[in-house]
Structure 1
Amino acid sequence: MTKQDAATAGRAASGETPARGLSSATALLFAVACGLSVANIYFAQPLLDAMAQDLGIAPAAVGIVVTLTQVGYAVGLMLIVPLGDLWDRRRLVVGQTVLSAAALGIVGTASSAAMLLAGMVLVGLLAVVVQVLVAYAATLAAPSERGRAIGTVTSGVVTGILLARFVSGTLADIGGWRTVYLVSSGLMLVMAALLARALPRHQPAPMAGSSYLGLLRSTAELFVQEPILRERALFALLIFANLNVFWTSIVLPLTTPPLSLSHTAVGLLGIAGVAGALAARNTGRLADRGWAQRTTGLSLLLMLAAWAPIACLHQSLWLLLAGVLMLDFSLQAVHVTNQSLIVAARPDASSRLIGGYMVFYSIGSALGAISSTVVYAMAGWTGVCMLGAAISAAALLVWIITVSRAQVPAGACLMPAP
């Protein structure tokens, strides 16, 4: 038996469909679909005041719009994403995309606060099609190209997150806040048609005791069975807490004297973040070649260093721009490496692994957002930068401990596998 035959047999035994490869065009379609889907979660942030005024929501209470969207997203990660290991992924992706269009339509036509909030819960719940797509791409890609495929698709996710606020603010200026959701609803319908046409059917191999409850139970069991999932989930919590410490609070010093920038100008900062994230798109190839640990360590070191130029915000906006590039590049590099490693550990459970991993992304994002505004009120921008640097240092320390625990010399952990 050749090595290729042995690899194919091994994948079949684990329940993994033999890889046929993922074309560049299909990977790009996945990335665009992910960007559009994840943007739906973040559109509301610059629109809260307009929503509150239009629907009679008290300004102090309108933050519940964002909270309920994130709650819906967290529930979807736990209850919907694991279905990718049980159902035909093509049908699951197209169905979620169509339902997302309907949920966005509900938000865009909401006539009451209750209708708006119900629609936002559904928007968050169905936006987890992003994680189904990431797991789907990882399964379709050949094992030697899995990291690159995840990097390409995930670049769409980060781009959607960073551009959502700018796009929603621009569309709202043109036609009001409802225009944002109605336009997105139409785009999601177009995307559903494209995905239905382009995606191959993919029915996962039958699981022992294939039931929905058994699927959810096995998702929790993966955290016990797979140390790499626990390790990389902790990294996800820390790096996304770090990201949200910056992006949640940056608008505060930029829009107040002495800078007093417009919201449009602040939104343009997100384009720099996109450039940094896209630059890290190909870091998945390093994981494919056995450089995962080294990529993680160097990226976390860069994330820590990024807070030095970011702290110079009031001295130079060019230094701030450099810090944004460093921060988003390093986050994307670690995020892609994380997903490449956990999917490689259990390709047959890719949807459950990605879903469980992303729960920690949600936790980290929420903790970072809450802590940054509290720290800014107490200690200003210097305090925010100290918080971000402390989180980066904690992530780097976790990596050092992880490497030192490996049962091989530390230097070997930093070198690519032969």
Structure 2
Amino acid sequence: MSQTDTVRPVPAAAASHPGISRGMTLLLATATGAIAANLYYAQPLLEAIARSVGTSAGAAGGIVTVTQLGFALGLLFVLPLADIVERRSLLTVLLLLDAAALAAVGLAPGPAIALVAFATLGLANVAAQVLVPAAAHLADDAQRGRTVASVISGLLAGMLLARTVAGIVTELVGWRPLFLGAAGLMIVVNLVLHRALRGMDVRSGRGLGYGEVLRSTVRIYQADALVRVRSAYGALGFAAFSIFWSTAALQLGRSPFGYSPAVIGLFGLLGAAGAMAANLTGRVRRPTHPMPTGVAVALIAIAFAVLLIAGRTLGGIIAGVLVLDTGVQGLHVLNQRVIYDVDESARNRVNSIYMWFYFVGGALGSAAASFMWSQAGWSGICLTGLGVTALASLLWARTSFRGSKV
């Protein structure tokens, strides 16, 4: 079956949608990026946090683990709620919890409180994933592609720039003020969004109970081939992203580069530039056509080939980062554009499915990168990235041409 045969039209009622202003799109993109950054501030600071709360550097990895676990649980059990409760109220609760968790991290006297705070932070940070479907809902049919692309670009820029901001702020004032400042920022974001989203909420799944929403999420995945295919693309794309970014600091910190953590953090700016380039994907008129997806997968493959051949030169790293992030984020934007047209009444449930696979793909990519780095170094990292791209290419061939076999 061709993936273009599985897409279902948005209900006709959407045609009369008033649309979304550029100012609102910019606000949602900025807010989404600010929220998403919360999950990534700690990654370059693990050793400093571990020393400060009285635990070993080896145990600092638990911070990443519990944060990821909290986020995964939020994707599965909190995000679907946005289809049956008022989005503005849900965002208010999540952002207050987010602010409290960030403050608890900044004030944590010991490792136990820090771990609980990071787990809570992961759970509450699904607020960013509530905003992306909300933007898709507010946009009309003609705007939806560009709107979703803009908001996702904001989210990705927040993810990538968080490491840079964390390194600079920590060097200037320490890591605790960083998290306390982020808590204050979430309070401001909460107030602004609460005001801006007034009167704009629609609960598509009104009347459903929580248990039925969770069961229907499983049924959507089982019944819809397009959701399964795009979730697989998302998992493979974020795996490729994580394979590079989880080991980039190791490569840049050793010979021939020998860069300091602060300098390494600046490479996040390159990633953000790639994410902005991927914003052009929002202008693709037929996101279900095989060609845009094929181009995105090809860019990821080219990036890892460049990193394999020239990854020991600064120019090679810069070129690889730009092409990799353009391909990965372009694929992500295409995926999200397609899934938000699957079922207007279940956009948050569909996003819950997609983002869970996306997240799992990233976690598996990080684990594979950690193993390959210890076994084969930088060449092993690049070959692993090419292997993931080969899987994405097989998926593309299988779903893009009628009658093809894998």
- TM normalised by structure 1 equals 0.91
The 5 Å alignment of 1:29-178 reads 29-178=27-176
The whole-number CA distance in structure 2 between the counterparts of 1:164 and 1:334 is 22
Q: Does 1:361 align with 2:361?
A: no
**227, 230, 234: which is aligned to 1:229?**
227
The whole-number CA distance in structure 2 between the counterparts of 1:166 and 1:206 is 40
**Is the partner of 1:204 in helix, strand or coil?**
coil
Q: Which residue number corresponds to residue 393 of structure 2?
A: 396
* Residue-pair matches, total: 395
| 1:148 aligned partner, one-letter code | R
| 2:291 aligned partner, one-letter code | R
| 1:219 aligned partner, one-letter code | T
The whole-number CA distance in structure 2 between the counterparts of 1:299 and 1:205 is 32
- CA deviations over 1:241-276 (Å, ceiling 9, x no partner): 000000001111211123211112111111111111
Aligned-residue CA RMSD (Å): 1.8
The 5 Å alignment of 1:230-379 reads 230-286=228-284, 288-289=285-286, 292-313=289-310, 315-379=312-376
1:281 to partner: Cα distance: 0.7
The whole-number CA distance in structure 2 between the counterparts of 1:314 and 1:20 is 49
Change (3 A) 1:379 1:206: closer
**Is the partner of 1:108 in helix, strand or coil?**
helix
1:206 to partner: Cα distance: 4.6
1:315 to partner: Cα distance: 4.4
- CA deviations over 1:299-329 (Å, ceiling 9, x no partner): 1011101112212445421121111111000
| 1:32 aligned partner, one-letter code | T
**Aligned partners of 2:153 and 2:275 also within 8 Å:** yes
- CA deviations over 1:8-53 (Å, ceiling 9, x no partner): 99444xxx69522111111111111111111111111111111111
Q: Which residue number corresponds to residue 380 of structure 2?
A: 383
**Aligned partners of 2:95 and 2:190 also within 8 Å:** yes
Unaligned runs of 5+ in 1: 1-7, 408-418
The whole-number CA distance in structure 2 between the counterparts of 1:353 and 1:280 is 22
Unaligned runs of 5+ in 2: 1-8
The whole-number CA distance in structure 1 between the counterparts of 2:140 and 2:356 is 26
The whole-number CA distance in structure 2 between the counterparts of 1:404 and 1:28 is 37
1:358 to partner: Cα distance: 0.2
**Aligned partners of 1:17 and 1:205 also within 8 Å:** no
**Is the partner of 2:401 in helix, strand or coil?**
helix
**Aligned partners of 2:205 and 2:346 also within 8 Å:** no
Change (3 A) 1:206 1:131: closer
- CA deviations over 1:39-91 (Å, ceiling 9, x no partner): 11111111111111111112221100010000000000011111111011122
**191, 213, 216: which is aligned to 1:215?**
213
**Aligned partners of 1:86 and 1:203 also within 8 Å:** no
The whole-number CA distance in structure 2 between the counterparts of 1:200 and 1:294 is 39
1:284 to partner: Cα distance: 2.0
